[in-house]
Structure 1
Amino acid sequence: MSAASQLDALLSAHWPGPLGMFDRLDSPIGLAFLARYPTPVSASRLTAARLGAFLRRNSYSGKKPPEELLARLGQAPKPTGCLDESTLTGLVNAHVNQLRALLAILKELNHTIAVAVEAHPYAGLFAPMPRIGGLNLAQVVGEVGPILERAENAAQVAAEVGVAPVTHESGTRRSVVFRMAVNHHARQAMTVFADNSRHADEWAAGLYADARARGKRHPHAIRILARAWIRVMWQCWKTNTAYDPSRPRQQKWRPAEWCTAGALLMGVS
């Protein structure tokens, strides 16, 4: 988020202390700290006891003791800028207010997306897939879904999504290269899902590891895994049945066995 980067740049020059205190500067606790202590002078009398009281008032859940956070604050490099107290206070507060407004908007948008995805007639087909997540599920349904609807087979889907290579042949010459003319949003949605899935699914982890063992670089191995998931999605989509993570799977996939036979959606039997 560019607004967070702008605040980071301001603090790096004039108030580096808060940058290393919390996991994220644009978190509620990070913004609350800056709103209360926008300058080095405002935090000059901060003690562990006062910081502990501040953390309790703001429901801090980072599990770092106030002594550790205060030590981080004190170990920060000295500021290189020379803005006066009132100017720096005004600038920090302006950035904090901007970020709070943007985060509120993002929270509302995420809720809207979640509601829309839940209501989508096909979201339930892919929701059980490992680590697909709400936002990634929305991307898959929105970007890959239309391709699934018009495609004639899973190979066409993989090609349009961009997780299958393209072959050039001329006479006796043949080359297999990275596919450029694709739906880039769909490719991102599928590769993000594939990458996440290997951390929660033994079959996906096996396919990825096998590709790496054959000398494939990480992006190539992820595309190979994404191509395998597209074959599964194709079967679930065309039969209108939800993916069933409990079904036993082998390294040689059998997509017809990967969907819940009794979980037909939309009243289709």
Structure 2
Amino acid sequence: MIFVGNDWASDHHDVCVMDETGSVLATRRCAESAAGITALHDLLARFADQPQQVVAGTETEHGMWVDALVAAGYQVYAINPRSVSRYRDRHHVGGTKSDKADAKTLADLVRTDRHNHRLVADDSAEADAIRVMARTHQNLVWARSAQQNVLHAQLHAYYPAALEAFGGDLAHRDTLSVLRRAPTPDQGARLSVATLRSALKKGGRQRNIDARAREIHQALGASGHLTAPPQLVAAYAATVTATVEMLTALNTQIVQLETTLNQSFDTHPDAAIYLSMPGIGETIGARMLGEFGDDPERYATAKSRRNYAGTSPRTIASGKGHVVLARHIRNTRLNDAAMAMAQSALTGSVGARAYYDNLKAQNKTHTQAQRALANRLIGILHGCLAHHTLYDEHTAWGHRANLAA
């Protein structure tokens, strides 16, 4: 066996090759290119007769370089950078750091401690594609939320009537269509009901147009609000117009990407299992599938899947102390999706609702009960995926029938 440490950068990789005794056999810097990966394969072939004899450690599990290592048949371990940092401190307390030294640290780590880490999952290209789209979709949603906060601060500074008219959903098409026509308080107060009706129709509203137009007209025309100087109003109106256009573009891109994401998710072999779970629709299902991956060997137990999602509790026990806390080192995107699943499951599953209510009766907070429910549902999902069966309410909660009593 030989052990390879791969410290990666944007355009090159520092590589250290080590034997079973810890002796360094070779070091090299390889470019991030086809020529670079070929040079690495040639180097490793000098010391190993079979690809299975190569154990490699790197700090990421994604990217074309890692894909090439896995495709070559090497045993590739993705090591969390924090673990690498702690391992480095075990041997070098002076705080020195270099790419070459990090490559040696990674080689040493997989030589001695690889049993504490996991192999890079052999997910399908379809699952990888879903993950890329799901993450980008979520990034766009987060960006939209950030721009809503910006718009709220802008309107609060000079246009309080607009906040009363549109409430908290400042990215809604109604809000954007009206603010595009009337970015100042005076313009808003002069809008007629007919003009508002036209703006709402153009924005895409199809129901209750007249009633909504009258509500907005009344709110924008209300008196009693403080006013800002004209110069400041003009400046804020310009910034609001820019923010409105950004939100409009984000809304369009989110809808378009969500359509493509859902179409890709629906064609995946595991989609039916995810969609059979309570609280999981196409978008949440795509996020969970993308983050979990579809390698059937990736999670040995339901607990390992729960740990990765961050829903399982962590226990700190020392001496007489025993504390159970939430797990904060986790896949944040996956945890968000799991918590959304649990929240929606409260109205989609009698068993899930009874489980949650039972926890609340034990004086658990909403977040604690929601996290415990998410943990339970991920365990059920693991079983469904392992046995290739759809979710069944009775199978999932029948043994807990007393909870509903």
Is TM (by shorter chain) over 0.5?
yes
Distance of 1:45 and 1:227 partners within structure 2 = 54
Question: Highest CA radius of gyration, 1 or 2?
Answer: 2
Partner of residue 180, structure 1: 328
What secondary structure, in the 3-state scheme, does the structure 2 residue paired with 1:141 have? helix
For structure 1, which segment, 219-228 or 162-171, has the greater mean C-alpha deviation from structure 2 after superposition?
162-171
What secondary structure, in the 3-state scheme, does the structure 1 residue paired with 2:368 have? helix
Distance of 1:94 and 1:194 partners within structure 2 = 37
Partner of residue 42, structure 1: 187
Q: How many residues align?
A: 253
Partner of residue 386, structure 2: 238
Partner of residue 160, structure 2: 16
* TM-fit CA distance, 1:218: 1.6
| Identity rate, percent | 27
Distance of 2:234 and 2:319 partners within structure 1 = 74
For structure 1, which segment, 6-15 or 110-119, has the greater mean C-alpha deviation from structure 2 after superposition?
6-15
Indicate conservation of the 8 Å contact 2:355/2:373, yes or no.
yes
What secondary structure, in the 3-state scheme, does the structure 2 residue paired with 1:176 have? strand
Match of 1:68 among 196, 215, 222: 215
For structure 1, which segment, 209-218 or 44-53, has the greater mean C-alpha deviation from structure 2 after superposition?
44-53
Match of 1:131 among 259, 275, 279: 279
Indicate conservation of the 8 Å contact 2:177/2:200, yes or no.
no
Structure 2 residues not aligned, in runs of 5+: 1-144
* TM-fit CA distance, 1:184: 2.9
* TM-fit CA distance, 1:54: 4.2
Structure 1 residues not aligned, in runs of 5+: 254-269
For structure 1, which segment, 126-135 or 141-150, has the greater mean C-alpha deviation from structure 2 after superposition?
141-150
Change beyond 3 A, Cα 1:70–1:161: same
For structure 1, which segment, 37-46 or 109-118, has the greater mean C-alpha deviation from structure 2 after superposition?
37-46
1:35-91 deviations in Å (ceiling 9; x for gaps): 222223334433334434544455534633433321111236233343277655543
The residue type paired with residue 39 of structure 1 is T
* TM-fit CA distance, 1:182: 2.9
Partner of residue 51, structure 1: 196
1:219-246 deviations in Å (ceiling 9; x for gaps): 2211221222122111110111222458
Partner of residue 175, structure 2: 30
For structure 1, which segment, 36-45 or 242-251, has the greater mean C-alpha deviation from structure 2 after superposition?
242-251
Change beyond 3 A, Cα 1:248–1:133: closer
What secondary structure, in the 3-state scheme, does the structure 2 residue paired with 1:75 have? coil
Indicate conservation of the 8 Å contact 2:279/2:348, yes or no.
yes
The residue type paired with residue 310 of structure 2 is G
Normalised by the size of structure 2, how large is the TM-score? 0.55
Indicate conservation of the 8 Å contact 1:129/1:245, yes or no.
no
What secondary structure, in the 3-state scheme, does the structure 1 residue paired with 2:337 have? helix
* TM-fit CA distance, 1:148: 6.6
Normalised by the size of structure 1, how large is the TM-score? 0.79
1:87-125 deviations in Å (ceiling 9; x for gaps): 555433322222222222222221222122112221211
Matches within 5 A, 1:81-100: 81-83=229-231, 87=235, 89-100=237-248
Matches within 5 A, 1:66-215: 66-75=213-222, 77-83=225-231, 87=235, 89-145=237-293, 149-170=297-318, 174-215=322-363
The residue type paired with residue 29 of structure 1 is D
